Amino acid sequence: MLAKADTPLMPVAGGTDLLVSWHHQVKDDWKLLDLSNLHTELQPLRLTDDSLEIGALTTYWDVMSSPSVAAAFPLLAQAARQVGAIQIQTRGTWAGNIANGSPAADGVPVMMAYSATVVLESVDGVTEVPLDRYYTGYKQSVRRPDQLIRAIRLPRRTRRAEWFHKVGARSAQAISKLGVAVVHDDDGWRVVANSVAPTVLRCRALESALDGGATFGTPNEIRRLLDLDIAPIDDMRSTAQYRANVLSRLLYHWLTDSAGG
Ligand SMILES: Cc1cc2nc3c(=O)[nH]c(=O)nc-3n(C[C@H](O)[C@H](O)[C@H](O)COP(=O)(O)OP(=O)(O)OC[C@H]3O[C@@H](n4cnc5c(N)ncnc54)[C@H](O)[C@@H]3O)c2cc1C
């Protein structure tokens, strides 16, 4: 159906993002594709010795309520517990979080820090795109309208450190003012931030410094590296200044005080 459509169809998974925009948009040209009949194909969580596959209809709740998945990928469960509240956690999907493309998405940073790939399927076949190369701009991605996100794949690796922190106005039902996920494994450091650029993004200058063994004496040293990648804005949730300062201080204290030190 995606391949044959004249105008792009919008797949509906949990509907928790789509229905928010319902009130704000002219919907005359909306054509929705309900995925709910594909539950058997798209929902399974498959954890093997090598990887975790998150089917496109897997919800936050599915991950939180799987002790083996939460133990193997703790940041997924941690981020899931901070998405919306129970109603959203039981409907919202990880794939919908990626496809919606919000720079404030909470699931995307942890998946990106875990080196996730996005499995895209169309009638032409299956391709896999690293999540850190999926976005091309604000709400823009490499996904073609005829492709469906079929699953997300996370490699299983021994990790030396991992951390997720979300800053919101309160503990539940809060969109991120900023958020950060960090993973350190044999491939090096991945530092992923949300709400500080048009897309969720890796802070590559800081990652390179950490890979080179850098240590930091002040938060401002981290801030200078972050500034090479991030471009926060002022909006109704926060200011650019607050976002950059808090992100650098959170990272500084985690790196110097705890597992990252
Ligand atoms: C009250 C409330 C609180 C929220 N709180 C948070 C929060 O704290 N953190 C957060 O990150 N988000 C939050 N959200 C946003 C939302 O819940 C999440 O982004 C969620 O993961 C979206 O998943 P969904 O399955 O509901 O997506 P949908 O609304 O069904 O779809 C979202 C987008 O993805 C596309 N899509 C869905 N599935 C596929 C697929 N398989 N292939 C291709 N495209 C697809 C749709 O066409 C649409 O463009 C909140 C939303 C609400 C209403």
Q: Of the ranges 112-121, 139-148, 149-158, 170-179, which one carries the lowest mean pLDDT score?
A: 170-179
Q: Of the ranges 16-25, 158-167, 226-235, which one carries the lowest mean pLDDT score?
A: 16-25
Chosen domain end from 155, 185, 206: 155
pLDDT at 30: 81
Query: Which one of 29, 83, 153, 177 would you pick to mutate in the ligand 1 pocket, going by the greatest count of ligand atoms within 8 A of its CB?
Result: 83
Name the pTM for this structure: 0.97
Examine the domain organization and report whether 23 and 94 are in the same domain: yes
Instruction: Place 261 in a pLDDT band, splitting at 50, 70 and 90.
Output: very low
Chosen domain end from 119, 140, 155: 155
Determine the average pLDDT of the residues in 154-158: 96
Angle at 199 between CA 195 and CA 203, to 5 degrees: 80
pLDDT tens digit sequence for 129-144: 999 999 999 999 999 9
Q: How many CB atoms lie within 10 A of CB 216?
A: 19
Determine the atom of ligand 1 nearest the C-alpha atom of 98: 34
CATH classification of the domain holding 197: 3.30.390.50
Distance CA 130, CA 115 (A): 7
Chosen domain end from 110, 130, 155: 155
CB of 179 closer than 6 angstroms to any ligand 1 atom: no
pLDDT tens digit sequence for 67-77: 999 999 999 99
CB of 201 closer than 6 angstroms to any ligand 1 atom: no
Query: Which one of 16, 91, 142, 199 would you pick to mutate in the ligand 1 pocket, going by the greatest count of ligand atoms within 8 A of its CB?
Result: 16
Examine the domain organization and report whether 166 and 184 are in the same domain: yes
Which percentage of the chain shows pLDDT scores above 90?
A: 89
CB of 83 closer than 6 angstroms to any ligand 1 atom: yes
pLDDT tens digit sequence for 73-115: 999 999 999 999 999 999 999 999 999 999 999 999 999 999 9
Q: Tokens for 66, please give them.
A: 């799987």
CB of 111 closer than 6 angstroms to any ligand 1 atom: no
Asked whether residue 260 carries a pLDDT value surpassing 60, the answer given is: no
3 falls within a domain: no
pLDDT tens digit sequence for 49-72: 999 999 999 999 999 999 999 999
CA of 238 from ligand 1 middle (Å) equals 22
1 falls within a domain: no
For 150, phi then psi, to 5°, come to -90, -35
Examine the domain organization and report whether 28 and 94 are in the same domain: yes
16 falls within a domain: yes
